[in-house]
């Protein structure tokens, strides 16, 4: 276990050194993600000039909504910093046959392939997310109860775990198919559904979609449940959701690992 | 031209049983690598050419079955240095990848150091190393020294032992000055040497080398040959080297396995292959003047004339008789008698194998 | 993209141009078809983010008591997003600016300095070819989506509006092309234009109407007294790449205002076309001076 941690430390250190060497590029990447995020925040502010709440009686007024956005920023920053860079490189590794070198090492392949690249510039959004959360929570009519502050980090971890499981399954598809057109595009489309509170999915089309994205591919649990824990009152239904999310996270990790292992046994390897 | 060693059913079962039982301490007599009836097939989709073919490909793709490895049997003992020689696409790299656990075979059994390779047990992976020519396993942006350290952590090498092994290997290859430079700044030859160092840091018992000298200049090849010979002898490593260069084989190995079309054509020593597959020797005569063509023709042996030099192919059994006669035919300044070059022998092996497989395909 | 600024420059001659176009067309189609699983699916996938936005706006409407926001009903907004997909299909030029900058950087632009082929015309031709291929393969998915969503659209507009819409689309292609081409030409002066491109894309994202109809900015005062943000944006080129054609079709811009904006759009096209040509002349002179 400690061995894995120290190896992770070496990877992270190597990536940090590289990022700091290409400093200008690093700063540009930070500014890029901050830039997109600001555009979106501007859009949300615009929306709130037309309405006091997103959805009727959902509780997502302006400050809670921004707490939701902040939660999304934090979770996505973690996933994009830790897991996405390695997953993107996986396509290259499979194409060039570099994956062979990974399989030969006495180290869990999934660990190596998930974490060998870290993108520190993606954390910029996460930091802004934390600031935004602080700003929003300070303006709540009713401050969140202490238990919410315990649940929040736990549920963030669950959200990250569910997204990680998704990344791993996409990576497994890459290994199996030998190529992936663009992992990042696919990722964008999937996570796009979880940008807003789940309550917006209502009506004859919305409700089935909401059910699909909650119970089958649980992406709606990722941001909604932690955000609701901090921004909305903790009702009985909320506790069910929290329990379900923890279970979903564990299940997702197990399922994704099985899928990944399976894809390794069917690995073809590039021709020499 | 079947494999020299035949593999009995009994031994096959024993190998499978050993594999299933898991890692064992190896009795000295047990071969390090045992392969029986190994086969690997791929389904390959044909890429469409042209516009109409591309459209058709939307609905139905042509595919065919490629047999990369067809029923290979092999046994390698401890400390052997075996060359796996074959043209591109012969299946030698596929075989190596199966033995290192990278891909799972379609059929057959194999054990390496008592483990079934494709189960990828950590204990197994700690005991062997794989080096692939032209493919980098070192971390591109880091200096090699960092990669070595990472290696130490991954393989759990004890620090003092690691330092000693590293220094020894680095000095043997003369790359001490290079280990602090980022790997991407180095030449192919330098990178290869560092790859070799990295692969031996954990003192593996088995070393798989996949075309390690490809693309390297003569000097680098030479250095690496000497290095490999030295470490293999010193550490009694079992080495399998795939290559299509005869040079590698001649410099390093006593045992040669010729593979083509996924099958083993020959498995034995270098000396034996010459004896078995050639019937003649090559006699080169340096004459003092351009020879008279009529006289040469009268000799009755197939020959080649290059200025004052005549190259003859003389049947082995007749050399003892033919030589004195040749030398008597005045004007000979120098004579040499050589075996047919290995490249030719092997090339002929490939050609006859290709002819055979074409004939097989033709018959319904 | 393997076709484009890096493709071998053909010789001159009247039919050479046609032959180029035909070859590029065929190659582009083949290229697309190689990724057989991806292309139809990929086009449909691009509509997915709209689904989320539609749900968002529906939720916004349900929370307020208003029937419309800045003149758009809920259905109008759905129609609007779909129409912006169409206008962006005309005006988006993926990789144009970065492609030009790259060929300047790696020197492959030299062949255009030497051979009697005009670089800008070549790029223009290749973009048209790309677009044609794109329309051919995307027509079916687009038609499907528009048909399925036809209930969101208001009744078909009159002939004048349709004509204006067509003009707006054509102009948006030209505008998008010259905007990005000029941006790419800046590669003659700046080694790395990626920050410039990024800045451009950010502004585009916000002000092109991609995210929301520009009319929604009408309530926000700009720095200039007496005008709103929407008024200022209406003079900028960005809104023409997504917002303008959509708004025209939906009848949100009428009469004199419509005429004015078409003129503004045409004006921008002319300015940028001249700017692009100017940048090319100056840039190549500078480039040759440095030996390339």
ipTM of the complex: 0.88
Instruction: Report how far apart, in Å, the C-alpha atoms of C75 and of each of C51, C80, C287 are.
Output: 13, 8, 52
**Best C62, C193, C217 residue to mutate vs chain A (most A CBs within 10 Å):** C62
Question: Would the CB atoms of C202 and A39 count as touching at under 8 Å?
Answer: yes
Per 3-state DSSP, what percentage of chain A is helix, strand, and coil (rounded to 5)? 80, 0, 20
Range in A81-95, B5-19, B223-237, C44-58 the model is least confident about: B5-19
The answer on pLDDT for B14 being more than 50 is no
Q: What is the dihedral of CA B64, B66, B70, B76, to 10 degrees?
A: -160
Does some domain include residue B158? no
Q: Which chain A residues have a beta carbon less than 8 Å from that of B102?
A: 100, 103-104, 267, 269
Question: Would the CB atoms of C56 and A39 count as touching at under 8 Å?
Answer: no
pLDDT above 70 covers what percent of chain B? 83
Least Cα separation, residue A43 to chain C (angstroms): 8
The answer on pLDDT for B203 being more than 90 is yes
Closest CA to B212 of B203, B224, B201: B224
Q: What is the pLDDT of residue B16?
A: 45
pLDDT above 90 covers what percent of chain C? 39
Max CA-CA distance within chain B?
76
| Residue B145 near residue B156, CB atoms below 8 Å | no
Mean pLDDT of all residues in B110-134: 91
Chains contacting C (3+ CB pairs below 8 angstroms): A, B
| Residue matched to tokens 């983010």 | C49
Binning pLDDT at 50, 70 and 90, where does residue C247 land? very high
Does some domain include residue A110? yes
Last residue of a domain, one of B275, B302, B326: B275
Question: Would the CB atoms of C26 and B51 count as touching at under 8 Å?
Answer: yes
Does some domain include residue A178? yes
Binning pLDDT at 50, 70 and 90, where does residue B9 land? very low
Interface of A with B in 17-46 (CB under 8 A): 18
Pull the structure tokens for residue C103. 């060929």
Q: Which of A106, A269, A271 sits opposite B154 (nearest CB)?
A: A106
Q: Structural domain tally of chain B?
A: 2
Q: Does A3 contact chain B (CB < 8 Å)?
A: yes
Question: Would the CB atoms of A55 and C220 count as touching at under 8 Å?
Answer: no
Strand B107-112 relative to strand B128-132: parallel, antiparallel, unpaired? unpaired
Q: How many CA atoms lie within 13 A of A152 on its CB side?
A: 21
Does some domain include residue B152? no
Phi and psi at residue B70, in whole multiples of 5°? -120, 100
Range in A30-34, B155-159, B345-349, C179-183 the model is least confident about: B345-349
Mean pLDDT of all residues in C52-75: 88
Does some domain include residue B238? yes
Q: Does B58 contact chain C (CB < 8 Å)?
A: yes
Strand B63-76 relative to strand B81-85: parallel, antiparallel, unpaired? unpaired
The answer on pLDDT for C220 being more than 70 is yes
More confident residue, B298 or B92: B92
Binning pLDDT at 50, 70 and 90, where does residue C12 land? low
Per-chain mean pLDDT for chain B: 81
Residues B40 and B113 in one domain: yes
B-to-C residue pairs, Cβ atoms closer than 8 angstroms? 14
Closest CA to B113 of B37, B31, B35, B12: B31
| Residue A250 near residue A191, CB atoms below 8 Å | no
In angstroms, the CA C4 to CA C24 distance is 9
Q: What is the pLDDT of residue B24?
A: 46
Residues B267 and B284 in one domain: no
Q: What is the pLDDT of residue B8?
A: 41
Q: Which chain B residues have a beta carbon less than 8 Å from that of A97?
A: 132, 135
Does some domain include residue A249? yes
Does some domain include residue A272? no
Instruction: Report how far apart, in Å, the C-alpha atoms of B293 and of each of A181, B188, C14 are.
Output: 67, 49, 64
| Residue C79 near residue C153, CB atoms below 8 Å | yes
Q: What is the pLDDT of residue B329?
A: 67
Q: What is the pLDDT of residue A122?
A: 92
In angstroms, the CA A27 to CA A41 distance is 21
Per 3-state DSSP, what percentage of chain B is helix, strand, and coil (rounded to 5)? 45, 25, 30
> Going along C129-262, which residue ranges are E strands?
none
Question: Would the CB atoms of B135 and A98 count as touching at under 8 Å?
Answer: yes
Does some domain include residue B350? no
Does some domain include residue A216? yes
Q: Which chain C residues have a beta carbon less than 8 Å from that of B51?
A: 26, 29-30
Residues B116-144, buried b or exposed e (16+ Cβ, 10 A)? bbbebeeebbbbbbbbbbebbbbbeebbb
Last residue of a domain, one of B275, B292, B308: B275
Does some domain include residue A125? yes
Does some domain include residue B18? no
Closest CA to B5 of B277, B332, B267, B353: B267
Q: What is the pLDDT of residue C263?
A: 94
Q: In which residue ranges of chain A is pLDDT below 70?
A: 178-184, 270-272
Q: Which chain B residues have a beta carbon less than 8 Å from that of A96?
A: 135
Does some domain include residue A9? yes
**Best A55, A91, A186 residue to mutate vs chain C (most C CBs within 10 Å):** A55
* Closest residue in C to B58 (Cα–Cα): C36
Residues B329 and B262 in one domain: no
Mean pLDDT of all residues in B295-319: 76
Q: What is the pLDDT of residue C260?
A: 92
Strand B128-132 relative to strand B206-210: parallel, antiparallel, unpaired? parallel
Q: Structural domain tally of chain A?
A: 1
Question: Would the CB atoms of B55 and C33 count as touching at under 8 Å?
Answer: yes
Binning pLDDT at 50, 70 and 90, where does residue C3 land? very low
pLDDT above 70 covers what percent of chain C? 85
Residues B325 and B219 in one domain: no
More confident residue, C249 or B325: C249
More confident residue, B70 or A271: B70
Q: Which chain B residues have a beta carbon less than 8 Å from that of A105?
A: 125, 154-155
Residues B120 and B247 in one domain: yes
What pLDDT digit, counting tens, does each position of A215-267 carry?
888 999 999 999 999 998 888 888 999 999 999 999 999 999 999 998 888 88
The answer on pLDDT for B87 being more than 70 is yes
Instruction: Give the neighbor-by-neighbor strand order of the sheet with B303-306.
Output: B303-306, B309-315, B280-287, B332-339
Q: Does A257 contact chain B (CB < 8 Å)?
A: no
Question: Would the CB atoms of B54 and C26 count as touching at under 8 Å?
Answer: no
Residues B239 and B306 in one domain: no
In angstroms, the CA B41 to CA A13 distance is 42
Least Cα separation, residue C32 to chain B (angstroms): 9
Please tell me the pTM assigned to this model: 0.80
The single-letter DSSP state of residue B300 is: -
Does some domain include residue B253? yes
Instruction: Provide CB contacts within 8 A for C9, sequence distance 6+.
Output: C111, C112, C115, C117, C122
Q: What is the pLDDT of residue B48?
A: 62
| Residue matched to tokens 């089935």 | A208
Q: Does B52 contact chain C (CB < 8 Å)?
A: no
Mean pLDDT of all residues in C253-274: 93
Q: Which of A7, A18, A106 sits opposite B141 (nearest CB)?
A: A18
Does some domain include residue B233? yes
List the domain range (segments joined by +) for residue B82. 29-45+65-127+204-275
Does some domain include residue B239? yes
Highest mean pLDDT: which range of B13-17, B322-326, C281-285:
C281-285
Residues B234 and B306 in one domain: no
Q: Does C33 contact chain B (CB < 8 Å)?
A: yes
Q: Where residue B329 sits, what CATH number does that domain have? A: 3.30.70
The answer on pLDDT for B270 being more than 90 is no
List the domain range (segments joined by +) for residue A196. 2-265
In angstroms, the CA A255 to CA A243 distance is 18
């Amino acid at each position: 276990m400690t061995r894995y941690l120290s190896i992770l430390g070496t990877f992270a250190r190597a990536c940090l050194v590289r990022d700091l060497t290409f400093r200008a590029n690093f700063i540009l990447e930070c500014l890029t993600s901050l830039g997109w995020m600001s555009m979106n925040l501007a859009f949300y502010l615009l929306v709130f000039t037309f309405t006091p709440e997103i959805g009727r009686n959902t509780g997502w007024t302006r400050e809670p909504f921004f707490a939701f956005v902040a939660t999304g920023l934090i979770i996505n920053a973690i996933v994009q910093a830790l897991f996405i860079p390695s997953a993107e490189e996986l396509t290259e590794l499979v194409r060039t046959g570099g994956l062979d070198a990974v399989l030969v090492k006495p180290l869990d392949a999934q660990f190596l392939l998930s974490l060998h690249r870290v993108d520190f510039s993606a954390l910029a959004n996460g930091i802004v997310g934390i600031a935004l959360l602080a700003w929003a929570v300070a303006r709540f009519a009713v401050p969140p109860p202490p238990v919410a502050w315990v649940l929040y980090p736990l549920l963030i971890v669950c959200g990250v775990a569910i997204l990680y499981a998704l990344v791993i399954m996409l990576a497994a598809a890459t290994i199996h198919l030998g190529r992936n057109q663009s992992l990042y595009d696919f990722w964008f489309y999937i996570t796009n559904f979880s940008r807003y509170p789940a309550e917006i999915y209502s009506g004859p089309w919305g409700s089935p979609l909401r059910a699909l994205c909650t119970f089958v591919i649980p992406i709606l649990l990722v941001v909604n449940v932690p955000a609701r824990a901090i921004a909305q009152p903790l009702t009985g239904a909320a506790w069910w959701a929290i329990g379900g999310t923890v279970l979903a996270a564990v299940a997702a990790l197990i399922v994704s690992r099985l899928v990944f292992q399976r894809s390794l046994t069917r690995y073809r390897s590039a021709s020499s | 031209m079947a494999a020299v060693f035949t593999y009995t059913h009994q031994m096959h079962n024993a190998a499978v049983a050993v594999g299933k039982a898991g890692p064992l301490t190896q009795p000295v007599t047990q071969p390090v690598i045992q392969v029986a009836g190994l086969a690997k097939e791929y389904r390959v989709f044909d890429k469409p050419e042209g516009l109409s073919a591309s459209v058709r490909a939307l609905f139905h793709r042509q595919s065919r079955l490629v047999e990369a490895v067809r029923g290979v049997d092999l046994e390698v003992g401890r400390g052997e240095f075996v060359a796996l020689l074959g043209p591109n696409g012969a299946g030698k790299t596929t075989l190596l990848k199966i033995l290192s656990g990278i891909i799972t075979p379609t059929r057959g059994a194999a054990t390496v150091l008592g483990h079934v390779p494709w189960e990828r047990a950590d204990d197994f992976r700690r005991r062997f190393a794989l080096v692939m020519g032209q493919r980098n396993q070192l971390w591109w942006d880091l200096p090699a020294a960092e990669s070595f350290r990472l290696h130490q952590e991954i393989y759990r090498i004890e620090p003092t032992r690691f330092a000693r092994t590293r220094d020894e290997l680095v000095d043997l290859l003369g790359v001490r000055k290079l280990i602090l430079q980022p790997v991407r700044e180095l030449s192919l030859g330098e990178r290869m040497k560092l790859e070799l160092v990295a692969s031996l840091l954990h003192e593996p018992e088995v070393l798989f080398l996949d075309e390690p000298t490809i693309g390297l200049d003569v000097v680098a090849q030479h250095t690496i040959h000497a290095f490999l010979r030295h470490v293999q002898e010193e550490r009694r490593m079992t080495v399998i080297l795939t290559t299509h260069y005869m040079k590698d084989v001649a410099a390093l190995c006593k045992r040669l396995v010729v593979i083509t079309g996924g099958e083993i054509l020959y498995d034995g020593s270098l000396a034996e292959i010459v004896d078995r597959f050639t019937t003649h020797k090559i006699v080169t005569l340096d004459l003092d003047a351009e020879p008279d063509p009529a006289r040469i023709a009268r000799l009755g042996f197939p020959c080649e004339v290059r200025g004052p030099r005549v190259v003859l192919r003389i049947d082995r059994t007749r050399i003892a008789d033919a030589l004195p006669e040749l030398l008597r035919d005045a004007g000979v300044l120098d004579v040499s008698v050589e075996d047919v070059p290995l490249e030719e022998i092997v090339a002929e092996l490939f050609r006859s194998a290709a002819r055979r497989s074409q004939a097989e395909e033709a018959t319904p | 993209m393997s076709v484009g600024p890096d493709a071998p420059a053909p010789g001159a001659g009247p039919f050479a141009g046609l032959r180029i176009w035909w070859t590029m067309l065929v190659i582009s189609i083949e290229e697309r078809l190689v990724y057989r699983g991806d292309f139809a699916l990929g086009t449909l996938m691009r509509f997915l983010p709209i689904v989320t936005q539609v749900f968002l706006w529906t939720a916004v409407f349900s929370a307020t008591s208003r029937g419309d926001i800045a003149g758009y009903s809920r259905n109008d907004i759905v129609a609007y997003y779909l129409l912006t997909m169409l206008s962006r299909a005309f005006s988006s030029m993926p990789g144009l600016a970065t492609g030009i900058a790259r060929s300047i950087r790696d020197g492959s632009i030299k062949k255009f300095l030497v051979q009697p082929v005009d670089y800008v015309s070549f790029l223009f031709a290749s973009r048209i070819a790309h677009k044609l291929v794109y329309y051919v393969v995307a027509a079916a998915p687009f038609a499907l989506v528009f048909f399925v969503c036809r209930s969101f659209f208001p009744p078909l507009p009159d002939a004048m509006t349709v004509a204006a819409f067509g003009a707006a689309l054509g102009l948006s292609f030209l505008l998008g092309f010259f905007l990005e081409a000029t941006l790419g030409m800046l590669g003659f002066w700046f080694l790395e234009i990626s920050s410039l491109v990024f800045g451009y894309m950010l502004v585009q994202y916000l002000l092109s109407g991609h995210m929301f109809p520009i009319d929604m900015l009408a309530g926000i005062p700009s720095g200039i007294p007496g005008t709103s943000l929407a008024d200022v944006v209406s003079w900028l080129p960005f809104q023409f790449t997504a917002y303008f054609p959509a708004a025209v079709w939906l009848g949100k811009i009428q009469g004199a205002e419509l005429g004015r904006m078409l003129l503004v759009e045409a004006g921008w096209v002319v300015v940028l076309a001249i700017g692009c040509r100017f940048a090319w002349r100056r840039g190549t002179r500078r480039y040759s001076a440095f030996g390339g």
